Chain A
């Protein structure tokens, strides 16, 4: 596949990017050769997306240089990157939902007739040419909001092709695609690279990396770890490079504190289009893990239990009390709490300080008890080991790990019986992750039932007393602590229980 005399078309040298309190990139180098598929691997927070944003002109590096075909360039805006032949296809597709397929492919470059009006005929022709290069047939006049995710992604790729992109950056392109579409996409990537287009392929799925790429670059904590040809490396080596010192390895599970009394019972819970027939019993002091891939219904189950998006049918019983028509307020007063997946959008009020955030769900009387609030927030602040100047510090200035501790503190202040944690360690550094695990354990020791949803299977394996595996909204398997390994979980979660090759490494 690779050809030694092919030229380097992009060279990024010594790229650094600093955000307040975070070094996103620390002198990273990356070079892209014409026609290669270059995998960019690393866990979340490793710096992949920042590097890509810089290449796409969406943000400027603090240090470092970028060379295109040997010439130094400065990418001021996305416009500059596009002009240089770089196209970014981000995880969240950048389409205008109301506009047609043609217009989305040709956005900003609609051809004109000699009268200066839009030449729709030639626009449609260019659009359909770009689509046919992908071997895809779509109704060009349909608004893209009516297309499936795979089709929308095809529109994005066609947009890049119709611009004669030389370098295509694909950020986690398969994360929301069904399996059969994944193979199709990989075929497309091979086809494009054989035509001389370079592809930077970002994923955490090792199978895909080894299936399509020529070279791989691994980033960790904003640093370049290694770049090497794919045939000089194997999957366990890649995992090792990506993970480095892992949090679950730093954490040893203590004795389980499960009590015999059930605290939360869920029976035949079903929500159309999200999950069906979910049943389990959570005991006091138990840590129950829910393992599932994106779209498996893992988040939706928690939201249903918490009363955000109530289930269509099924029963929820908390501490022996059957809950009719669950609502958020009702569930909170029954002692259930949810730390949602997206801390900043759903877990915190960034404009308020630590103390106000901690107390916001537990203000019971119309008049505030300032001394009580102070006592509660000081106590939790200390117990959680939050690193901040004081309880009056704005939460917006805290690191991800400390922010998560505030979210959990908010719920601890309500004196919960059941704590639902949705991806509690997403985007948190290694040290803080171990802190969160310890915290979960302390909660359980006090008799609180904990449900932890995660896509980082190793952390479930090392923290949870029991793990339920979800596949496409159904309970697929259940394991006790020590019964399963990562491959087994992944096999069940991806629905390929007999083929153990579809490995996925952790992503946080």
Chain B
């Protein structure tokens, strides 16, 4: 009897983000009749895709026990690269995407080498990198606003396309999330990630190259930031050079709402997925209810703090 109770408790504890998502969704469907429509739901999902994909990457860095706060600028740089190169045929489109992804991988590698090899504070290091990347974007654009008219259609499809009535970005989001979870669950690297974040000392003594694991985690984080950036560029086709700067807070909120531990070693992409949807369901509901942008920002800050406080208190109680 007691075992069963404990089992149920454990199941609930492991799925808090999903349960919260269900509860909030149910509540909003009652409050706002237009909430539970196909149009609104796909809208939420499409809005969540870009940040959600980046959150998948950040989940890797966080499980390894490190923060990546450079993803905001990185997303911006990838988006600007996509717009500035403005390809007009397929080979150049592929080249553009590859360049943007490579930039993300490079920044991730730099973060990983500094944090992984030299064991610096990952917070400060990646904040520094956030500025370096922003500066590179500013120099690259000379501070100019970038607008593209008549974007090459296949590229535009990445951000705006639909398959039937279903927005294409959602499919990319789902694909990245599924691949991410598969890597975590079914590869050696996934296990090494949890081990490194859970206890770096033990991991080293068990023959795990924790520096390499962290570099890889950061590269994944940088690459997903690039994917998010490319998608946003394809969707808006019109961006400020400082776009993305500071948006890592939103990404971090998704990840923490999804139950990933601040101290590493715990979390999953499935959780982050639910956390991302939760954030976007709540902001969708605020928009539906006509809440002003400023109030939404205040609510975001409150949600962030309450989530973290709850998880800290939860962990203290064991």
Residues of A at the B interface (CB closer than 8 Å) are 20, 306, 308, 328-329, 332-333, 338, 340, 345-352, 356, 359-361, 363-368, 370, 389, 410
Pick from A306, A348, A365, A410: contact of B188, CB under 8 Å: A365
**Residue from A20, A308, A356, A364 within 8 A of B205 (CB atoms):** A308
Closest to A414 in B: B207
Top 10 nearest A-B pairs (CB, nearest first) are A349-B198, A351-B265, A351-B198, A363-B188, A361-B206, A332-B207, A349-B199, A329-B207, A346-B201, A349-B195
Query: Which A residue sits closest to B194, measured CB to CB?
Result: A352
Interface string of B193-204 (1 = CB under 8 A from A): 011011101111
Determine if B207 and A349 form an interchain contact, defined as CB atoms under 8 angstroms apart: no
Instruction: Decide if B118 is an interface residue (CB 8 Å cutoff).
Output: no
Q: Within 8 Å CB of B202, what residues of A?
A: 345-349
Could you tell me if A363 and B199 are in contact, using CB atoms closer than 8 angstroms?
A: no
CA distance A340 to B201 in the complex (A): 11
Residues from chain B with a CB closer than 8 A to the CB of A308 are 204-205
On chain A, the residues within 8 Å of B199 by CB distance are: 345-346, 348-351
- Taking beta carbons and an 8 Å cutoff, which residues of B are in contact with A? 3, 185-192, 194-195, 197-199, 201-209, 261, 265-266, 318
CB distance from A306 to the nearest CB of B (A): 8
Question: For residue B194, which residues in chain A have a CB less than 8 angstroms away from its CB?
Answer: 349, 351-352, 356
Q: How far is the CB of B172 from chain A (nearest CB, A)?
A: 24
Most chain B CB within 10 A, of A329, A359, A360, A361, is at: A360
Do the beta carbons of B203 and A360 come within 8 Å of each other?
Answer: yes
Q: Given B187, B207, B208, which contacts A368 in the complex, CB threshold below 8 Å?
A: B187
B186 touches A360 (CB 8 A): no
Is A410 a contact partner of B187 (Cβ separation < 8 A)?
no
> How far, in angstroms, from A249 to B226 measured CA to CA in the complex?
65
Q: Bound complex: CA of A329 vs CA of B209, how far in Å? A: 8
Known contacts A345-B199, A363-B188, A367-B186; A338/B205 CB under 8 A: yes
Residues of chain B within 8 A (CB-CB) of A348 are 199, 202
Complex Cα–Cα for A329 and B204 (A): 9
Which of the listed residues B3, B189, B198 has the most CB atoms from chain A within 10 Å of its own CB?
A: B198
Q: Which of A328, A347, A366 contacts B207 (CB 8 A)?
A: A328
Q: Please list 23 pairs of residues, one from A and one from B, whose beta carbons are closer than 8 Å in the complex, sorted by A's number.
A: A20-B318, A328-B206, A329-B207, A329-B209, A338-B205, A340-B205, A346-B201, A346-B205, A349-B198, A349-B202, A349-B203, A350-B199, A351-B265, A356-B194, A361-B206, A363-B191, A365-B188, A366-B187, A366-B188, A366-B189, A368-B188, A368-B190, A368-B191
Distance of A331 from chain B, by nearest CB (Å): 8
**Contact, CB under 8 Å: B266 / A351:** yes
Measured CB to CB, the closest approach of chain A to B178, in angstroms, equals 16
A418 to B189, CA, bound (A): 26
A349-B187 in contact (CB<8A): no
Q: What chain B residues lie within 8 Å of A20 (beta carbons)?
A: 318
In the bound complex, do residue B188 and residue A367 qualify as a contact, i.e. CB atoms below 8 Å apart?
Answer: yes
Taking the closest CB of chain A, its distance from the CB of B115, in whole angstroms, is: 20
Assuming A349-B199, A350-B198, is B205 touching A360 (CB within 8 A)? no
CB distance from B202 to the nearest CB of A (A): 5
**B186: nearest chain-A partner, CB-CB:** A368
Chain B residues within 8 Å of A333, by CB? 207
Given contacts A351-B266, A360-B191, contact A370 B186 (CB under 8 A): yes
Question: Which label, helix, strand, loop or mixed, suits the secondary structure of the B interface?
Answer: helix
* Residue ID in chain A nearest B185 by CB atoms: A368
Most chain B CB within 10 A, of A333, A348, A349, A364, is at: A349
CB-defined contacts of A332 to chain B, threshold 8 Å: 206-207
Of A345, A364, A367, A410, the contact of B206 (CB 8 Å cutoff)? A410
Q: How far is the CA of A382 from the CA of B23 in the complex (A)?
A: 42
Q: CA of A370 to CA of B191 in the docked complex: distance in angstroms?
A: 12
Q: Which of A338, A365, A368 lies at the interface centre, i.e. has the most chain B CB atoms within 10 A of its CB?
A: A368
Which single member of B187, B192, B197, B204 contacts A328 (CB below 8 Å)? B204
CA A247 to CA B205, docked complex, whole Å: 29
Contacts of A363 in B (CB 8 A): 188, 191-192
Residues from chain A with a CB closer than 8 A to the CB of B198 are 349-352
B204 adjacent to A360 (CB under 8 Å) = no
Question: Which residues of chain A have C-beta atoms less than 8 A from B190's C-beta?
Answer: 368
Task: List chain A residues, Cβ under 8 A from B195.
Answer: 349, 352, 356, 360
20 further contact pairs, Cβ within 8 A, besides A346-B201, A351-B261, A360-B206: A328-B204, A328-B206, A332-B207, A333-B207, A338-B205, A345-B201, A346-B205, A347-B205, A348-B199, A348-B202, A349-B198, A350-B199, A351-B266, A352-B265, A359-B191, A360-B191, A363-B191, A365-B188, A366-B189, A368-B191
Q: Please, which residue of chain A has its CB at the minimum distance from the CB of B208?
A: A360
Q: Which residue of B lies closest to A410 (CB)?
A: B206
| B207 proximity list for chain A (CB < 8 A) | 328-329, 332-333, 361
A360 to B3, CA, bound (A): 28
User: Which residue of B has the minimal Cβ distance to A389?
Assistant: B3
Contact partners of A356 in chain B: CB under 8 A:
191, 194-195
Q: In the complex, A206→B181 CA distance in Å?
A: 58
* Complex: A283 Cα to B315 Cα, angstroms: 48
Closest to A396 in B: B318
Q: What B residues does A389 contact at CB under 8 A?
A: 3
Smallest CB separation, B220 vs chain A (Å): 15
| Chain A residues whose C-beta falls within 8 Å of the C-beta of B185 in the assembled complex | 368
Instruction: Report the minimum CB–CB distance from A394 to chain B (whole Å).
Output: 10
A365 to B186, CA, bound (A): 11
CB distance from A351 to the nearest CB of B (A): 4
For B196, the closest partner residue in chain A by CB is A349
Q: Give complex CA distance A212, B194 in Å.
A: 51
A350 vs chain B, min Cβ distance (A): 7
Residues of A near B208 (CB, < 8 A) are: 360
Please measure, in the bound complex, the distance between the C-alpha atom of A368 and the C-alpha atom of B190, giving whole angstroms: 9
A366 to B195, CA, bound (A): 15
> Complex: how many Å from CA A351 to CA B266?
7
Min C-beta distance of A416 to chain B, whole Å: 12
In the assembled complex, how far is the CB of residue B203 from the closest CB belonging to chain A, in whole angstroms? 7
Assembled-state Cα–Cα distance A367/B205 (Å): 22
Q: How far is the CA of A328 from the CA of B202 in the complex (A)?
A: 12
Most chain B beta-carbon neighbours within 10 Å: one of A351, A367, A368: A351
CB-CB < 8 A to B265: which residues of A?
349, 351-352
